């Protein structure tokens, strides 16, 4: 059975493996392409030190020791094990936490981040390269585009799906190729 989703986030909310993405084509038709990267709950390949060294600066923390989901929530685990360099941090108000239905719950899972886009346009027709590149630059911004292109900034699964959908709009059914992939925490 194939599932269609409006976005990558909807696939995660429905707790169904996001292995397909709904992509619009020119004439309003829908096409289902395999998602480039799937998330996984397997964190065995990441050491604890590696996990918390990847925690983004100014990450929202949770200090609710009574949270029933705290053992697997990145906000709670970041507060316990992380090494924030900031003297002032942002935190979830523990008195407003909803227990099992906490809107801030972020499960610990590994995602495959892409690095580098130096061969992204290798299979693209010359007439489409400029337009595709300009659309991607407008989406990410000039500086952020080149950081991602040169492999200095990771390309998240959501961003990979967006790029794949853009290529689909231009009629390219092959998944865009990124330079490398690395398993990281899905902060």
Q: Could you read off the pLDDT of 51-64 as tens digits, one per residue?
A: 677 788 788 899 88
Q: Which residue has the tokens 């002032």?
A: 88
Mean pLDDT of 23-48: 43
* DSSP character string of 66-100: T-TTGGGBHHHHHHHH-----SS--EE-GGG--GG
Mean pLDDT of 63-70: 87
Report how far residue 62's alpha carbon sits from residue 70's, in angstroms, rounded to the nearest whole number.
8
Element (H, E) at 146: helix 142-149
Q: What is the pLDDT of residue 50?
A: 62
pLDDT of residue 178 exceeding 90, the answer is: yes
Q: What is the pLDDT of residue 44?
A: 52
CA-based torsion, 138, 140, 142, 146: positive or negative: negative
Q: Sorting pLDDT into bands at 50, 70 and 90, what band is 31?
A: very low
Whether the model clears a pTM of 0.85, i.e. scores above it, the answer is: no
Q: What is the pLDDT of residue 45?
A: 52
Q: Could you read off the pLDDT of 77-125 as tens digits, one per residue?
A: 888 887 766 778 888 888 777 777 888 888 988 889 999 999 999 999 9
Q: What is the pLDDT of residue 2?
A: 33
Element (H, E) at 162: helix 157-169
The answer to whether 61 and 75 have CB atoms below 8 angstroms apart is: yes
* Polymer length of the chain: 187
* 91: CB partners within 8 A, 6+ apart: 60, 61, 62, 63, 79
Ramachandran area for residue 15 (φ above 0: left; ψ -120 to 50: alpha; else beta): left
Residue 30 to residues 12, 23, 96, 111, Cα–Cα distance (Å): 20, 6, 41, 26
Q: Sorting pLDDT into bands at 50, 70 and 90, what band is 19?
A: very low
Cβ atoms within 10 Å, residue 162: 18
Mean pLDDT of 13-21: 35
Six-digit token string for 27:
């004439």
Q: Could you read off the pLDDT of 135-173 as tens digits, one per residue?
A: 999 999 999 999 999 999 999 999 999 999 999 999 999
pLDDT of residue 17 exceeding 60, the answer is: no
Q: Sorting pLDDT into bands at 50, 70 and 90, what band is 16?
A: very low
Q: What is the pLDDT of residue 84?
A: 62
């Amino acid at each position: 059975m194939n599932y269609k989703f409006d976005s990558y986030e909807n696939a995660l909310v429905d707790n169904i493996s996001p292995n397909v993405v709904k992509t619009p084509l020119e004439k309003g038709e829908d096409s289902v392409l395999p998602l480039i990267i799937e998330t996984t709950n397997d964190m065995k390949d990441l050491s604890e030190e590696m996990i918390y060294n990847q925690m983004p600066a100014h990450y929202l923390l949770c200090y609710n020791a009574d949270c029933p989901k705290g053992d697997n929530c990145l906000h709670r685990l970041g507060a316990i094990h992380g090494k924030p360099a900031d003297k002032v941090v942002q935190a979830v108000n523990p008195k407003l936490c909803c227990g099992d239905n906490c809107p801030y719950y972020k499960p610990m899972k590994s995602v495959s981040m892409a690095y580098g886009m130096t061969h992204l346009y290798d299979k693209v027709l010359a007439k489409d390269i400029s337009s595709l590149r300009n659309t991607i630059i407008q989406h990410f911004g000039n500086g952020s585009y080149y950081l991602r292109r040169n492999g200095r900034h990771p390309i998240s699964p959501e961003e990979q799906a967006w790029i794949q959908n853009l290529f689909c709009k231009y009629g390219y059914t092959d998944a865009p190729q990124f330079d490398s992939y690395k398993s990281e925490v899905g902060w």
